[in-house]
Amino acid sequence: MRRTALLSILTAAILSTFALAQNDTSSAVCTYTDGNQISLRYTQAKASKEPLPMGKVWSPGSVRMDLFTETSLTIGSATIQPGAYSFYFIPEKDSWTFVVNKNVTAGSAYDQQQDVARGKMQTEKLGESEPELNIYFGHLAPKKCAMRVDYGKVRAVGDIDQK
């Protein structure tokens, strides 16, 4: 099963490499206590002065993010199996939601029917505006990673738990 998961991750990485090759990409990684990792690959998008698309699925810089997991995850009541996924945000006035979607085909449009999980994020206003998107993971407990997203004057924080 571990070999299948790694093969899935490598296949998704190869498929998305071409689409991301011309962008400045970054990644955030969290390692759980058992050594399994999750990583989120994203484009270093400049923070726009335009208002966020409230209530709509969104990727900073209009480039889909990719989530890779070596282990099963729990997000809300959903279980995510090891593999590769696309990753989006839905900004709201007082909170954000992150969306995990199983469609990893390069260049494809977002399709809500392929969502596998959604997680809530608490938001706060930053004193200074962040000039570009920054995503960080923090390992909080043996099976808990917190994701922090800084974009413009907003910081959103949500958890991704290992099953």
Instruction: Show the domain range for 67.
Output: 2-162
Residue 2 has pLDDT above 80, yes or no: no
Q: How many separate domains does the chain show?
A: 1
Confidence of residue 48 (pLDDT cuts 50, 70, 90): confident
- Render the burial of 16-31: b for 16+ CB within 10 Å, e for the rest: beebbeeeebeebebe
The model's pTM is 0.83
Confidence of residue 152 (pLDDT cuts 50, 70, 90): very high
Task: Choose between 7 and 30: higher pLDDT.
Answer: 30
pLDDT digits (tens, 9 = 90+) for 91-124: 999 999 999 999 999 889 999 999 999 999 999 9
Beta strands in the chain (DSSP E): 25-31, 37-43, 65-69, 73-75, 78-80, 83-91, 95-101, 115-141, 144-162
Residue 38 to residue 32: CA distance in whole angstroms: 8
What is the token pair recorded at 143?
């099976």
For residue 119, CA distances in Å to 17, 74, 88, 98, 111 come to: 26, 10, 11, 5, 17
Confidence of residue 24 (pLDDT cuts 50, 70, 90): confident
Residue 100 to residue 117: CA distance in whole angstroms: 5
Type of residue at 74: T
Residue 36 to residue 161: CA distance in whole angstroms: 12
Given the structure tokens 């400049």, which residue do they identify?
A: 46
pLDDT at 49: 84
